[in-house]
């Protein structure tokens, strides 16, 4: 494939946008080549400015569960736009979408909308601190919860440690209250509680991690985590910005028996528009302004265009919950095909699927946490990504990301992708 126009566009963007992109992963720094500049999407395909067509397994990083330009969502957005882009005032569509979410999630009595997943998590943690009167929080290495200051931390030595800033510009005073535990390791969590002098306000976790590759939490671990939180009067927050309505109609909560105290959502509830949300039990949410003292606000929160897109998306999902079986089957077929392609050239690969989410690692052992994920062959992934892109298959441009199937992803697309995997792996291992 030729990428001449994309290369030129990237060079122009670099002059006026830091790194040439508005989100770091888009720069293709973890893989080979230059990012294609996208002109349009259609169903399960992307088209770049050079005229190349790609089978899209990123789907805008998850929200497009019905693919690009779904006619129902498109119509809802156009109708909403005709009534006005934004009002900064209440609309009934906010209540309708909130009711759909409350009806689906047993753990949510009330929900508040924001404009991004980062904002949702930041607000949920503030509310947890205000509700409990404690400052310390626990997160897991490898789980990404947005780029707010207190969550941009990296692990030190030991199973659990107080976090150090992982980005310049983040004061150590803001991250000293963030303790780090190891995913799927309850003993590391217990150590965090032992280390905290003031008590822990909340433990936040991706119950299906999607930002170190696809790494689901084990059921026993989640149950033990719930028990530890109960013992200490600590709130358990499920970050389902990525897995919500993707892993199942009820996200991870349609799979695990564990009930969190609060949930953060995003992606699918925007239907492609920028949306986030956080919700929980009514006694917790009652502490949120204007009912309670914990302040949170957003001029564009509950944007009517985004609400219309999200409401249409969720209602389509609720009307046909069986589609999750179809999506999961396609994801499993894709991963089985990738694995057989790897086996054909004696390359180790492990795969996983949760609903319409899929992930794979070039590794010879199961991946249960971020340390395991770091051992995957990132150089081989970079070559694989480039080979697949050249064959018209658009995968996430990092070995630490998750892939997505949409309802517009056909069996023929899956077969074409598996064929491309065989060809690419044969080429890069020759």
Q: Which residues are catalytic?
A: 144, 239, 267
Place of tokens 């006026």: 16
Using alpha carbons, select from 129, 125, 128 the residue that is nearest to residue 149: 125
> Using CA of residue 394, residue 400, residue 405, residue 411, what is the dihedral sign?
positive
The pair of three-digit structure tokens given for residue 13, joined into one six-digit string: 């963007």
Contact criterion met (CB below 8 Å) for 200 and 233: no
Query: Crossing angle for the helix pair 304-319 and 71-83, nearest 10 degrees?
Result: 150
- First and final C-alpha spacing in the chain: 21
Q: In what order do the strands lie in the sheet with 357-361?
A: 350-354, 357-361, 403-404
Determine the distance from the C-alpha atom of residue 283 to the mean position of all C-alpha atoms in its chain, rounded to a whole number.
Answer: 27
Upstream peptide bond of 107 is cis (omega within 30 degrees of 0): no
Task: Give how far Cα 90 sits from Cα of 96, 109, 209, 341, 421, Å.
Answer: 12, 19, 34, 53, 49
Contact criterion met (CB below 8 Å) for 244 and 268: yes
Distant-in-sequence, close-in-space partners of 124: CB < 8 Å, separation ≥ 6: 202, 204, 237, 262, 264, 278, 280
Place of tokens 């969502």: 73
CA angle 326, 330, 336 (to 5 degrees): 140
How far apart are the C-alpha atoms of 43 and 59, rounded to whole Å? 10
């Amino acid at each position: 494939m030729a990428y001449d126009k994309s290369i030129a566009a990237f060079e122009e963007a670099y002059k006026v946008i830091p790194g040439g992109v508005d989100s770091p992963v888009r720069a293709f720094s973890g893989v080979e080549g230059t990012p294609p500049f996208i002109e349009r999407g259609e169903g399960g395909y992307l088209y770049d400015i050079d005229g190349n067509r790609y089978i899209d397994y990123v789907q805008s990083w998850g929200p497009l569960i019905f693919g690009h330009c779904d006619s129902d969502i498109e119509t809802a957005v156009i109708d909403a736009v005709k009534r006005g882009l934004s009002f900064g005032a209440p609309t009934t569509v906010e209540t309708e979408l909130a009711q759909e979410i409350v009806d689906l999630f047993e753990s949510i009595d009330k929900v508040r909308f924001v404009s991004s997943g980062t904002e949702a998590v930041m607000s949920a943690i503030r509310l947890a601190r205000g509700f409990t009167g404690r400052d310390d929080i626990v997160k897991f290495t490898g789980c990404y919860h947005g780029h707010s200051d207190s969550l941009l931390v990296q692990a030190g030595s030991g199973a659990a440690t107080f976090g150090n800033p992982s980005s310049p510009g983040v004061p150590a005073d803001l991250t000293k209250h963030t303790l780090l535990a190891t995913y799927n390791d309850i003993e590391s969590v217990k150590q965090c509680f032992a280390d905290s002098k003031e008590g822990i306000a909340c433990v936040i976790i991706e119950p299906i991690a999607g930002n170190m590759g696809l790494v689901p939490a084990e059921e026993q671990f989640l149950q033990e985590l719930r028990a530890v939180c109960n013992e200490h009067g600590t709130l358990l927050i499920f970050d389902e910005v990525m897995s919500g309505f993707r892993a199942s109609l009820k996200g991870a909560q349609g799979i695990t028996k564990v009930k969190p105290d609060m949930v953060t959502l995003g992606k699918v509830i925007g239907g492609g528009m920028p949306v986030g949300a956080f919700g929980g039990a009514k006694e917790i949410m009652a502490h949120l302004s204007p009912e309670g003292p914990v302040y949170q606000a957003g001029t564009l929160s509950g944007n009517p265009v985004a609400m219309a897109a999200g409401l249409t998306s969720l209602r389509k999902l609720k009307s046909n919950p069986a589609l999750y079986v179809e999506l999961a089957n396609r994801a499993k077929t894709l991963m089985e095909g990738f694995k057989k392609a790897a086996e054909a050239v004696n390359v180790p690969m492990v795969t996983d699927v949760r609903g319409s989410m899929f992930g794979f690692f070039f590794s010879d052992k199961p991946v249960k946490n971020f340390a395991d994920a770091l051992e995957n062959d990132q150089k081989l992934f970079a070559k694989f990504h480039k080979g697949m892109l050249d064959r018209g298959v658009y995968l996430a441009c990092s070995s630490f990301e998750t892939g997505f199937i949409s309802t517009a992803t056909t069996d023929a697309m899956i077969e074409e992708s598996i064929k491309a995997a065989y060809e690419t792996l044969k080429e890069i291992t020759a």
